Chains A and B, each alone.
Chain A
């Protein structure tokens, strides 16, 4: 029997980087095959090549024994290859069934298609109301739409790119059931991930990538995490070290009964948020994206500064009506989620980017910027935080994600803040840099700074937070201590159901 998919010596070069270097792998029918690797290992490039969205410079793709000459996404679909992107290609202003109608080759008949959507979604345990508008759906439900859209085509090979990054732990289990069901029907699955435990639980075979090359093929169910991690990272993963915290008597950042309606219809209303961050501790906020994190961040950082923010106190001072700059003067530092465009100006050099927030550090005299001082400040950050850059004149967007994030975090820390708000500290950052940033944040808190971290990575939050809240549908849960932080407890809170109000997990599973 021919393999479902065979890659022979795939190579893809971009200016300055080799994304894929001689990659070969084989996927059998009905096999769940993991592509394991860090951010930047070349996984996404490889998937785009398989799907035909990008072309390889060299190498062969063989599907069901047939060599693919000129590849394209539409050829993929006619061969039965479907792909669920990490960032969904869904349209918010139209309904679920209309979204699906756009990508299936069927007659445009909404009622008939709706029935088919319901049928497929029930068959694979992915409940979905075809008439709802996509912008009302949670991220998990949106992923269901994407998967159902692929399943409607009766795929022979389904590619999933980091599918669990947007799901609660309970929803992950449900997704795995669906994928196993699908594989048992003969559909092959390519599962891209950097999460070892998931790959060990789900996959039959794992191909591990590092820096664009295959560093090993393993049976993940028989390999240990350490073996897989070594193939993935090339060395032992550095461990972070967490001392017990000594919190200050009074909170540095305090939010009491904050409610705010969202500035636009696609946003989330915040409801009665209470939160204290003391000096010397790290407080985390977990939650699936789109549950009010963006709204909360903009209210705390001062990007939105109307009177709703009177409920937010910084070192005892109410911040209502205070702009982002005024809050920084009170001792707040902020690392936003988007590095390029919000944390740094992509086309400016690091010196100028340092001046963006560090101009208070004596860089401005008589309204003029002292660029020499800005460069010195940037140099200090580059050196102290081990940023791999030639110097302050390096352009921000030429840095890798991890290095730019180190620079931005370092810049904010060098401002000697009393409180720091960090959104997604290690998103898209390689393992080494991520560990460094986490340790830096721990050290900062142990030096007496109040650290608030908003992240979707539960493992990260469990690793570094002294206390953890969960945000769901604009409401913030009470704080969990380190001993109370488990996948189950946090997962339940992420679905918006309190442990007290519902003791069983079944309810959360149906969400």
Chain B
């Protein structure tokens, strides 16, 4: 039972940074912008969080700063692709590389020093229940926050006029412009939001998941988040399921390594990535679903006509 609880809670925690980053990217892509730079924005978020904590800030403001740093780096990308209409693929890749460099610079003095970790929130009464308590009610606040964000984003995209506007801007910016919506401004907002979410995801890694700074500590999670959005066919619930799959495989392979399974640890470490991609590819084979939810203008620059 203890092992099950450990694997379950480990899965939820390992999935959290992905959930933040992928949900943010989902909103960005729904508005028709492809930001490949999630990895870079997560690293900037992670390094900013560590820097803030070492500068004496409490954990919560440190997370807010990480979100801001992620948003600012995303806005750099936004200026390039929305105002100057550069190629979104190239600009996104540049952001990924830029983020890696900047984060290494921010974090250069904190190599492997443990940071103050985010405390768990032991929810009164519910958290004291046997089994149920440790399974559901003893996480840190960011885990709960990730679920609140999931609910908010799903509600916003599919139940509000604002979400409808974001989706239609992603389908046909020309039509949205023709009926009078400020396409570029809307896309700036979603891009900044996506950056903030990636920043929080990065901060989660460096002050909750493994409370220390290591260069390149995201280890490809930004790219997995990117793949999650595509293979989840741009639907929030599937993003969550995919993130849990990744988290679950991460924890299982760690347990496997601890138990000394006779497989090289490098192979085990690659399992979460391989398994997530394979499962998601199989799920996303339904072309009808893919086409219906695909933001038709994804990755295409938009130039408002006269």
Q: Which of A54, A92, A102, A265 contacts B179 (CB 8 A)?
A: A102
- Complex Cα gap A246–B52 (Å): 87
Is A91 in contact with B168, judged by CB distance below 8 angstroms?
yes
Contact indicator per residue, chain B 271-306, by CB within 8 Å of chain A (1) or not (0): 000000000000000011001110010000000001
Which of B158-166, B221-229, B241-249 contacts the other chain? B158-166
A55 and chain B: residue at smallest CB distance: B306
A71-99 residues with Cβ-Cβ distance < 8 A to B are 73-74, 85, 89-94, 98
Is A94 in contact with B180, judged by CB distance below 8 angstroms?
no
**A265 and B178 contact, Cβ closer than 8 Å, known pairs A93-B167, A108-B160:** no
Is A85 in contact with B178, judged by CB distance below 8 angstroms?
yes
Is B164 in contact with A98, judged by CB distance below 8 angstroms?
yes
Is A264 in contact with B291, judged by CB distance below 8 angstroms?
yes
Distance in angstroms from B153 CB to nearest chain A CB is 17
Q: Is B210 an interface residue (CB 8 A)?
A: no
Q: Which of B175, B287, B291 contacts A89 (CB 8 A)?
A: B175
The main secondary structure of chain B at its interface with chain A is: helix
A92 and chain B: residue at smallest CB distance: B171
- Complex Cα gap A265–B288 (Å): 6
Q: Which of B160, B171, B291 contacts A91 (CB 8 A)?
A: B171
**A73 and B180 contact, Cβ closer than 8 Å, known pairs A94-B168, A98-B164, A265-B292:** yes
| Size bracket of the A interface | 10 to 19
Q: Which positions in A face B, CB cutoff 8 Å?
A: 53-54, 73-74, 85, 89-94, 98, 101-103, 108, 264-266
Q: Which of B160, B161, B175, B288 contacts A90 (CB 8 A)?
A: B175
Please, could you name 14 A-B residue pairs with CB atoms under 8 Å apart, sorted by A? A85-B178, A89-B172, A89-B178, A91-B172, A91-B176, A93-B167, A94-B167, A101-B161, A101-B164, A102-B161, A102-B165, A102-B179, A103-B179, A103-B180
Find the residue from B180, B181, B288, B293 having the highest chain A CB count within 10 A: B180
Supplied contacts A93-B171, A108-B161, 5 more A-B pairs, CB within 8 Å: A90-B175, A92-B296, A93-B167, A264-B287, A266-B291
Distance in angstroms from B85 CB to nearest chain A CB is 18
Is B287 in contact with A265, judged by CB distance below 8 angstroms?
yes
Give the chain A neighbours of B180 by CB distance below 8 A: 73-74, 103
The main secondary structure of chain A at its interface with chain B is: loop
A73 and chain B: residue at smallest CB distance: B180
B161 and chain A: residue at smallest CB distance: A108
Give the chain A neighbours of B160 by CB distance below 8 A: 108
Give the chain B neighbours of A90 by CB distance below 8 A: 175
Give the chain B neighbours of A53 by CB distance below 8 A: 178
Is B175 in contact with A91, judged by CB distance below 8 angstroms?
yes
Give the chain B neighbours of A264 by CB distance below 8 A: 287, 291
Give the chain A neighbours of B168 by CB distance below 8 A: 91, 94, 102
Is B164 in contact with A94, judged by CB distance below 8 angstroms?
yes
- Complex Cα gap A91–B291 (Å): 14
Contact indicator per residue, chain B 81-107, by CB within 8 Å of chain A (1) or not (0): 000000000000000000000000000
Give the chain A neighbours of B181 by CB distance below 8 A: 102
Give the chain B neighbours of A73 by CB distance below 8 A: 180
- Complex Cα gap A102–B181 (Å): 9
Give the chain B neighbours of A265 by CB distance below 8 A: 287-288, 291-292
B295 and chain A: residue at smallest CB distance: A93
Distance in angstroms from B300 CB to nearest chain A CB is 15
Give the chain A neighbours of B167 by CB distance below 8 A: 91, 93-94
- Complex Cα gap A103–B161 (Å): 11
Contact indicator per residue, chain B 149-191, by CB within 8 Å of chain A (1) or not (0): 0000000000011001101100110111011110000000000
